[in-house]
Amino acid sequence: MAESTLYDYLTTLVHLGYLVKDNGKYTLTLRFLDHDMAAQSEVRYI
């Protein structure tokens, strides 16, 4: 993957609130858990 493409992806994830950039390092936020919770609520157990 091109470095510029990766930068674009990371920038988008920061803008959407999924990552935080601090001192040149990216860290996941808790926003990813929203998707996990939504997926779990859609699962039907038989």
Domain locations in the chain?
3-42
- pTM for this predicted structure: 0.71
Query: pLDDT value at position 27?
Result: 95
In angstroms, the CA 33 to CA 46 distance is 24
Query: pLDDT value at position 46?
Result: 62
- Split the chain (46 residues) into runs of 10 and give each run's mean pLDDT: 96 96 94 76 67
Question: Could you tell me which of 36, 35, 17, 37 has the C-alpha nearest to residue 27?
Answer: 17
In angstroms, the CA 11 to CA 20 distance is 10
Query: pLDDT value at position 45?
Result: 64
